[in-house]
Amino acid sequence: MPLRIGKNTLKLTTNPSVTGFAGVGGITEGEGPLAEEFDYIFEDDKAGQESFEKAESIFHKEAVERAITKAGKSKGEINLIFAGDLLNQCTGSTFGIRNMDIPYVGVYGACSTMALALALASLSVDSGAAQNAVASTSSHFCSAERQFRLPLEYGGQRTPTAQHTATAAGACVISTHTENTPCVSAVLIGKIKDLGIKDANNMGAAMAPAAAGTVAMFLEDTKTTPEDYDLILTGDLGKVGSTLLKELMLKDYGTDISSVHNDCGLLIYDMEKQDVHSGGSGCGCSASVLNTHVLKAISSGKLNRVLFVATGALLSATSTLQGETIPSIAHAVLLTGGERE
Amino acid sequence: MPLRIGKNTLKLTTNPSVTGFAGVGGITEGEGPLAEEFDYIFEDDKAGQESFEKAESIFHKEAVERAITKAGKSKGEINLIFAGDLLNQCTGSTFGIRNMDIPYVGVYGACSTMALALALASLSVDSGAAQNAVASTSSHFCSAERQFRLPLEYGGQRTPTAQHTATAAGACVISTHTENTPCVSAVLIGKIKDLGIKDANNMGAAMAPAAAGTVAMFLEDTKTTPEDYDLILTGDLGKVGSTLLKELMLKDYGTDISSVHNDCGLLIYDMEKQDVHSGGSGCGCSASVLNTHVLKAISSGKLNRVLFVATGALLSATSTLQGETIPSIAHAVLLTGGERE
């Protein structure tokens, strides 16, 4: 049963386990430094489909099916799936999982979706509502570009602060505590922050205050310091947002996280060789990095305590056209090595 | 703590209470039969804003603030808010609640959102993750029409099977058990059903199989029959979908629900006098009907056991243009009179 500690942190008293996890990517992700760690790289970003949106659903489905298989479960053993994505009305998820016959909770957190879905799946297992729950999300560069920015055919130039939406999906299975698996020990559901940023090509800046608020709140609630973590992993602030986060943490909260901080948007691509501007973004970026590289490192003992903080910019193309600012959010999940910790 | 009974139903063993509830509507809703029961009717569907989208956020905010006030709580006492809506990237919710400083779980269930948010808020209270949690949603005829169908200025004619998106919002506060309040006794998270319906102007038909599946599963899991309920309330199948639901229940499950069934889409408008085709729809329809008329009737003892089943059509304008079918879902929440039952 979850136990509220401090103001907003929920400690999971049964230590739910991550029994299976998988990440899949597209062509650009397959050229990045984590390619070898991905479960599958699609050689065709359209995955044989007629549209980018349909392709995203195939990516999503692939990640979920691989995670369930790797957990040694059947779909019939999954009590709940928490899924969502960036596409209008979350069709990346719903069309991807529609034939799985699993009770479905649609979630929306923009690029924070992996942390949100993972937090809710873990809470559901910790409370006994589910024995096995899936958390999953996806994004696709081409479906996101034409939905949020410009049609690809237009060939619009991107600003240096812009991030590159990952063509990727990630999923994991959370189960009642199982020995020798990574565990979810605590979660924090974030609050919306809106500091008045309006530039939809600089979402790292819009999201950094939300990330800082969530990290600071988690540290305060759990009476811990950055040194208590092997990694504080944001997803996805990119280059601009990551620098801002570290500055904000120091300035507003007097906390230096620079020695343990990294960002999924900086890990997924080669920031020098790949043309991805400020780094990766999109729900699938942090989802695929978490469910490949990071959970593998926790499983193998390279990492023991990882605070995963995914951030989301809660804008729409319409809100931007209507001159609105960008409300942002960040949710945190504490992953640990389980017994080994 | 939630207790899994049967295949998919979760019994809430602490009987979380609905300590506050509120519904607000626009002009057309103010001309309907439930107008007197609404907490507030906006005389201007734009609520003084520059756009329909911004107006929807004002409606959403109004419902949430009224529900919290009626619960006798302050915003600082609310541990979690579960909210979502039909607008792209759920901006109706996020822009409505962005200044409330409450941890926010974004949910997406199309028109099933009220039941989904209510189920999750109730689970969070039942598990101890929250002492007070808000569930809220909204919709707006004008923002939905131009997003999903045609610009209003086009004056397109609607088919008889089309439903009228309600300009309305509803919210409730779920709290640890409190005497003499309506309670949430059980919830069921639905599965996606897709029977191949493609007509986005006949969503009642697309959603009826999901509603039937959820009602049948709930009855089976809880070993109850329609006679055990004062009301099985769907939201929002409208005229076409409601007829289909009753037929499907009889044909596929051998269960006659006709004596206890009603639909929020048929209750919110005067089906003879108001020009709403097959009835109301949109997240705000079932949300406002539940959080005014229905919860008032449970509070006063007119109703004791209400199975609230909200349905959602998980399509997008893009999926329809790409020739996709309409996956649908229905979530169920059992509301009871508490001690009085």
**Closest chain A residue to B104 measured between Cα atoms?**
A191
Residues B275 and B133: their CA atoms lie apart, in Å, by: 36
End-to-end Cα distance, chain A: 21
- Between B31 and B158, where is the model more confident? B31
Give the residue from B86, B108, B114 with the most A CB atoms within 10 Å of its CB, the best one to mutate.
Answer: B108
Which among B33, B45, B96, B43 has a CA at the least distance from the CA of B68? B96
Confidence of residue B341 (pLDDT cuts 50, 70, 90): low
Of A127, A319, A327, the CB nearest to B127: A127
CB contact under 8 A, B322 and A94: no
Residue bearing tokens 């007097």: A254
Own/partner pairs for B267-274, CB < 8 Å, 24+ apart?
A: B267/B33, B267/B34, B267/B293, B268/B29, B268/B32, B268/B33, B268/B34, B268/B166, B268/B168, B269/B28, B269/B29, B269/B32, B269/B33, B269/B164, B270/B31, B270/B32, B270/B33, B271/B239, B274/B28, B274/B31, B274/B32
Which among B122, B135, B165, B130 has a CA at the least distance from the CA of B60? B135
Residues of B in contact with A86 (CB under 8 A): 89
- Between B291 and B339, where is the model more confident? B291
Residues A240 and A280: their CA atoms lie apart, in Å, by: 11
- Per-residue tens of pLDDT for chain A, all 341 residues: 999 999 999 999 999 999 999 999 999 999 999 999 999 999 999 999 999 999 999 999 999 999 999 999 999 999 999 999 999 999 999 999 999 999 999 999 999 999 999 999 999 999 999 999 999 999 999 999 999 988 888 888 888 888 999 999 999 999 999 999 999 999 999 999 999 988 888 888 899 999 999 999 999 999 999 999 999 999 999 999 999 999 999 999 999 999 999 999 999 999 999 999 999 999 999 999 999 999 999 999 999 999 999 999 999 999 999 999 999 999 999 999 987 66
pLDDT surpasses 80 at B87: yes
Give kind and range of the element (H or E) at residue A19.
strand A17-25
Residues A86 and A93: their CA atoms lie apart, in Å, by: 9
Distance from CA of B129 to the nearest CA of A (A): 6
Confidence of residue B339 (pLDDT cuts 50, 70, 90): confident
Residues of B in contact with A116 (CB under 8 A): 105-106
Distance from CA of A3 to the nearest CA of B (A): 7
Distance from CA of B68 to the nearest CA of A (A): 17
CB contact under 8 A, A105 and B189: yes
Interface contacts (A, B; CB < 8 Å):
174
pLDDT score at B238: 95
Residue A329 β-bridge partners: A312
Residues A78 and A64: their CA atoms lie apart, in Å, by: 11
CB contact under 8 A, A324 and B95: yes
Mean pLDDT of chain B: 96
Question: Strand pairing of B231-235 and B40-41?
Answer: unpaired
Residues of A in contact with B116 (CB under 8 A): 105-106
Residues of A in contact with B317 (CB under 8 A): 88
pLDDT surpasses 70 at B161: yes
Q: Are B282 and B166 in contact (CB under 8 A)?
A: yes
Residues of A in contact with B147 (CB under 8 A): 318
CB contact under 8 A, A53 and B104: no
| Eight-class DSSP state of B193 | B
The pair phi, psi for residue B9, each rounded to 5°, is -90, 140
CB contact under 8 A, A88 and B88: yes
Q: Is B12 helix (H, G, I), strand (E, B) or coil?
A: strand
Residues of B in contact with A316 (CB under 8 A): 87-89, 91
**Angle at the Cα of B104 (from B100 to B108), degrees rounded to 5?**
125
The complex scores an ipTM of 0.98
Residues A288 and A290: their CA atoms lie apart, in Å, by: 5
Is it true that the peptide bond before B236 is cis, omega within 30 degrees of 0? yes
pLDDT score at A158: 85
Q: What does each C-alpha distance from B200 to A47, B204, B247, B302 come to in angstroms?
A: 27, 9, 21, 36
Residues B143 and B123: their CA atoms lie apart, in Å, by: 31
**Closest chain A residue to B49 measured between Cα atoms?**
A322
The pTM (predicted TM-score) of the whole model is 0.98
pLDDT score at A341: 60
Confidence of residue B340 (pLDDT cuts 50, 70, 90): low
pLDDT surpasses 80 at B169: yes
Give the residue from A13, A189, A197, A329 with the most B CB atoms within 10 Å of its CB, the best one to mutate.
Answer: A189
Q: Are A92 and A45 in contact (CB under 8 A)?
A: no
CB contact under 8 A, A98 and B194: yes
* Both structure tokens of A46: 């359209």
Of A3, A88, A99, the CB nearest to B316: A88
pLDDT surpasses 90 at B200: no
**Closest chain A residue to B327 measured between Cα atoms?**
A98
Of B1, B80, B106, the CB nearest to A109: B106
Tell me chain B's radius of gyration from C-alpha atoms: 18
- At B236, the amino acid letter reads D
| Helix ranges, chain A (H) | 27-30, 52-70, 91-97, 113-126, 141-148, 203-222, 238-253, 264-267, 283-289, 295-300, 317-321
Structure confidence by residue, pLDDT tens digits, B273-324: 999 999 999 999 999 999 999 999 999 999 999 999 999 999 999 999 999 9
Residues B139 and B137: their CA atoms lie apart, in Å, by: 7
CB contact under 8 A, A94 and B314: yes
CB contact under 8 A, A315 and B86: no
pLDDT surpasses 80 at B150: yes
Residues of B in contact with A188 (CB under 8 A): 103
**Closest chain B residue to A313 measured between Cα atoms?**
B89
CB contact under 8 A, A50 and B322: yes
Residues of A in contact with B1 (CB under 8 A): 1, 127-128
Q: What does each C-alpha distance from B33 to B30, B38, B297 come to in angstroms?
A: 8, 10, 15
Compute, in degrees rounded to 10, the torsion defined by CA atoms B235, B237, B239, B244.
-130
Q: What does each C-alpha distance from A76 to A20, A100, A149, A162, B11 come to in angstroms?
A: 15, 9, 39, 41, 20
**Angle at the Cα of A318 (from A29 to A59), degrees rounded to 5?**
25
Task: For residue B217, count CB atoms less than 10 angstroms from its CB and return exposed for 0-12, middle for 13-18, buried for 19 or more.
Answer: buried
Residues B192 and B209: their CA atoms lie apart, in Å, by: 10
Tell me chain A's radius of gyration from C-alpha atoms: 18
Distance from CA of A280 to the nearest CA of B (A): 20
The pLDDT of B257-263, averaged and rounded, is 98
